[in-house]
Amino acid sequence: MTASPDVPGFSIADYVIFGLLLLVSASIGIWHACTGGKQRTTGEFLMANRMMGPIPVACSLTASFMSAITILGTPAEHYIHGCMYSLFGITYALVMILSAELFMPIFYKLKVTSAYEYLEFRFNSKFVRVLGSATFICQMVLYMGIAIYAPSLALNAVTGFTLWGSVLTCGLVCTFYTTIGGIKAVLWTDVFQLTVMVAGFLAVIIQGSINVGGWGVVMERSRAGGRLEFANFDPDPTVRHTVWTVLIGGIFTWLPIYGINQSQVQRYLTCRSMKAARIAIYLNIPGLGLILALAACSGLVMYASYYDCDPFTAGYVNQSDQLMPYFVMDILSFLPGLPGLFVACMFSGALSTVSSGLNSLAAVTGEDIIKQIWPKMDDNKYTKITKILALSYGLLCIFMAYISSLMGSVLQAALSIFGMIGGPLLGLFSLGMFFPWANSKGAVVGLFSGLIMSFWVGIGGFIYKPFVEKPPLETYNCPNETVSNITTTTMQYVSGQTTAAFNTITTQEAPVTIIQDTYPAIADYYSISYLYYGGVAWIAVIVVGLIVSFITGPTKPEEVDPKTISPLADKCCCCLSASTRETLYCGVQFKVEEEEKKYSLDNKPNIADTSDANVQVDIDDGVVNGTTLQHESGL
């Protein structure tokens, strides 16, 4: 098929389908506000009384960061650059293993509500805890505004669907069901929204394949167009996507999300046992793999449809994230309701991301700030405050969407901030969990060093954009008579030399060559793949944190609470003898007497308190002894 400068707009049926998404999501919130405990306690509102099963939690973990940005960007990535991005399926599996075995057990055994409580447990410093919380709050508030605005903008540009109507509608509906229904509403709406995402992708893949003549044609055209490359083993760190950048750099991109991000940690801590939490995390391997596969297939179907007339190069769309909405309106508009289904798919990603963020922001602000100021606050009052916090963050999210609209070309830089902050935060938690010598001074200086390094490289990469070699995009069969062919050539610059990237545009008139400005030699450093940003920051936090810790007086490993250290020797060297593993503990007292294999709540680090010292938690599966665990942080 051939791309067209104009595509049909939304029909009444499309608006109805989109409206049903919002109605069902809101109804789930109302249901959980009126049933069970009616969200009257913080234990239910923030943690679902820690009694959830693995299936809904797994769906929520999958949906929470499969945002609309991902739903738009992943198909476009495969359309423009090819299938190297699909190797993230392996990365997801590695990240889930690390999260389930190294990070989750620490959080679960401590029975935290906020992941940043761990920082005070480990470093015995409220400042480190608040610093980590504040960093997370800044990260999520900015990201959530963009998570709503970016898909609304793309949809508006292609379909004419009202921009601020979609921003306000999604923002308000999401805020509504999150505020009244708590985390149970978030979890179950994520299950519904994940189903909608899958249905939307399937509609695009099936109809698109039919239009081009079948899946065999899709694969043939994709292969001829160079979109099926999976084996680029180039060790050059400046190449955008290779096997190494995706597998190694991808771990440092996604592990901060599934390992230590409050939105995800809070979800698997709602599980009734550690075993259930581990199952929920591992179920994300097929879950994320399915979404990635559907998005990749959508991108290949889109390329097969436009292999001879690229709408992006031809100027029918202005941004790559508009390709997918354009394609949907082009191939599905003759079937009333199906474009609406994909829009529902796209905004399901936005709703799941924002609702998870709102609930986690309320938890972090309440636990790490409000309860530190008023530690003896009545739980009923505290529950009302957390609901007000969720509502306030929802309104702030909508405001940040407006701020995003003023950013213009800075929007892409703002999106990358999420990744640039994640690496340093992962480094901070890794410093505490894997290096018993680290102290609070090393943690603070290390975190700031990582943030500086990450933002320096990230902003430099945005200013001095690296040259990316792309497979060809053709326009020889476009109906626009002013464009007969476009050949894109991209050159890598050489350090210290005058270089340029250029596009030769062949039209009915004379060829035009567009030359970019000369890049300075330092651009070599900034040209590192964006997937390595988190890894660079992680290394900076660990190295600087350990150096500062040893200079200022390292923590003695035997004095560190073993519940705050991840026993790498047991996880990675389980085949070694007990004495050898004990040596690898580096002095940390991991051994526990058999009769003491129960955690009583008052054995938690001394900053935690409880009124019931008889409640015990099993060290292996985290089962609460028949009692709902209520944790109150003291000063």
Mean pLDDT of all residues in 149-174: 81
Is the domain of 565 the same as that of 522? no
Higher confidence at residue 388 or residue 342?
388
Q: Taking a C-beta distance cutoff of 8 angstroms, is the pair 150, 415 a contact? A: yes
Range in 186-190, 290-294, 566-570, 596-600 with the lowest mean pLDDT: 596-600
609 against 467, higher pLDDT: 467
pTM of the model: 0.85
Q: Quick check: 81 and 470 in contact, CB under 8 A?
A: yes
Residue 187 lies in a domain: yes
| Distance, CA of 500 to CA of 227 (rounded, Å) | 25
- pLDDT-derived band at 587, boundaries 50, 70, 90: confident
- Domain holding 247, by residue range, is 12-406
User: Residue 125 contacts by C-beta under 8 Å, 6 or more apart in sequence?
Assistant: 119, 440, 443
581 and 508 share one domain? no
Residue 284: CB atoms within 10 A of its CB come to: 25
Q: Are residue 512 and residue 367 in the same domain, yes or no?
A: no
- Residues 259-303 have pLDDT tens digits of 999 999 999 999 999 999 999 999 999 999 999 999 999 999 999
Q: What is the mean pLDDT of residues 162-174?
A: 87
Domain boundary (508, 526, 544) is at 526
The CA-CA-CA angle for residues 588, 590, 594, to 5°, reads: 155
Region 441-461: mean pLDDT is 92
Higher pLDDT, 514 or 530: 530
Regarding predicted confidence, which is higher, 8 or 131? Answer: 131
Establish if 96 belongs to a structural domain.
yes
pLDDT score at 517: 53
Q: Look at residue 569 in the predicted model and tell me its pLDDT.
A: 65
Same domain, residue pair 120 and 224: yes
CA–CA separation, 117 vs 422, rounded Å? 17
Q: Which of 374, 447, 356, 543 is nearest to 119 (CA)?
A: 447
- Shared-domain flag, residues 110 and 220: yes
pLDDT of residue 598: 45
Q: What pLDDT is stored for residue 319 in this prediction?
A: 81
Confirm if 483 and 473 have CB atoms less than 8 A apart: no
The number of domains in the chain is 3
What is the rounded average pLDDT of the residues 54-82? 88
If asked whether residues 100 and 221 sit together in one domain, one would say: yes
122 in the same domain as 48? yes
Could you give the 3-state DSSP secondary structure of residue 278?
helix
Residues 262 and 398 in one domain: yes
Kindly state the average pLDDT of the residues 317-329: 87
- Statement to judge: residues 315 and 373 lie in one domain: yes
Alpha-carbon span 569 to 230, nearest angstrom: 34
pLDDT in tens, 423-445: 999 999 999 999 999 999 999 99
Q: Which of 232-236, 289-293, 463-467, 507-511 has the highest mean pLDDT?
A: 289-293
State the pLDDT at residue 580.
74
Encoded tokens for 42:
């913080």
Which pLDDT belongs to residue 626? 38
% of the chain residues with pLDDT over 70: 82
Q: Which long-range contacts (CB under 8 A, 24 or more apart) does 611-620 make?
A: 617/109, 617/111, 618/273, 618/274, 619/109, 619/592, 620/274
Helix (H) / strand (E) containing 2: none
pLDDT over threshold 50, residue 625: no
Could you tell me the maximum CA-CA distance found in the chain, to the nearest angstrom?
Answer: 86
Strands (DSSP E) contained in 112-215 are none
Which pLDDT band, with edges at 50, 70 and 90, does 413 fall under? low
Q: What is the CATH number of the domain that holds 145?
A: 1.20.1730.10
Per-residue pLDDT at 189: 93
The predicted model gives 155-169 an average pLDDT of 79
Say if 554 falls within a structural domain. no
Three-state DSSP at 506 gives: strand
Please tell me which residue, 502 or 332, carries the higher pLDDT value: 332
Q: Is 599 left (phi over 0), alpha (psi -120 to 50) or beta?
A: beta
What per-residue confidence (pLDDT) applies to 489? 39
Arithmetic mean of pLDDT, 4-8? 63
pLDDT of residue 512: 40
Q: Is residue 460 part of a domain?
A: no
Say which residue the tokens 């769906």 belong to.
59
Mean pLDDT along residues 322-335: 87
User: Is residue 47 assigned to a domain?
Assistant: yes
User: How distant, in Å, are the alpha carbons of 224, 230, 322, 390, 499 from that of 87?
Assistant: 20, 7, 24, 36, 31
- Whether the per-residue pLDDT at 612 is higher than 80: the answer is no
Same domain, 514 and 567: no
Q: Are residues 493 and 620 in the same domain?
A: no
Checking if the pLDDT of 551 tops 50, the result is: yes
Q: Which residue, chain included where needed, has tokens 């959080």?
A: 107
pLDDT per residue as tens digits for the range 128-140: 999 999 999 998 9
Among candidate residues 146, 240, 184, the one with its CA nearest the CA of residue 29: 184
342 versus 492: the higher-pLDDT residue is 342
Alpha helices in 553-586 (DSSP H): 568-572, 578-584
Confidence band, pLDDT 50/70/90 cuts, at residue 5: low
| Residue 498, pLDDT above cutoff 80 | no
Q: In this structure, are residues 268 and 555 in contact, taking their beta carbons and an 8 Å threshold?
A: no
The pLDDT score that the predictor gives to residue 150 is 78
**Does pLDDT of 332 surpass 50?**
yes
Among residues 343, 375, 406, the one where a domain terminates is: 406
Last residue of a domain, which of 374, 406, 438? 406
CB 179 within 8 A of CB 361: no
At residue 143, the pLDDT reads: 86
Residue 188's pLDDT is what? 94
In a domain, 519, yes or no: yes
What's the pLDDT band for 212 if we cut at 50, 70, 90? very high
Q: Is the pLDDT of residue 574 over 70?
A: no
Indicate if the pLDDT at residue 446 is higher than 80: yes
Asked if residue 380 belongs to a domain, the reply is yes
Residue 361 lies in a domain: yes
The answer on 515 and 629 residing in a single domain is: no
> What is the pLDDT, as a whole number, of residue 408?
53
Residue 328: beta bridge partners?
none
Whole-number pLDDT of residue 631: 38
CB 587 within 8 A of CB 569: no
Quote the CA–CA distance of 507 and 485 in Å, as a whole number: 7
Q: Would the pLDDT of 480 be above 60? A: no
* pLDDT at 622 > cutoff 60: no
Q: Measuring CA to CA, which residue among 534, 521, 501 is closest to residue 245?
A: 534
Reported as a pLDDT band with limits 50, 70 and 90, residue 482 is very low
